[in-house]
Amino acid sequence: MSDNIHYYQIMLDTSDEETPYYVYQCGTYERSSVLAGQAFTRCCDCFATMAEAVAQYPKADDCTAIDGQRPLRNDSSLAWLPGEDDPVPGGAYPDD
């Protein structure tokens, strides 16, 4: 699978004493996925120090103030949900 990775984030989780610095991949699923075009955030690595994380992922955003929560930056879109202009209002189709 070769999803589109848009950016990386480094997050601090103080509940993990051994490797508290987590690196997350943020991007969109590839066209062949049933989730095509939708945003994802997934953990790809963890480190004992911030210096190690930055050395491995030098272009990652530093989001260490988040402290155990999912990364704040989110480029998610709800464009795939049914809208007002769908053939049936709300996107629901009547049963046959």
Q: What is the pTM of this model?
A: 0.61
Burial category of 24 from C-beta neighbours within 10 Å (exposed 0-12, middle 13-18, buried 19 and up): buried
2-59 pLDDT tens trace: 668 888 888 888 888 899 999 988 888 888 888 888 888 889 999 999 999 999 998 8
Structural domain boundaries in the chain: 4-68
More confident residue, 82 or 49: 49
Query: Up-side HSE of residue 3: CA atoms within 13 Å toward CB?
Result: 18
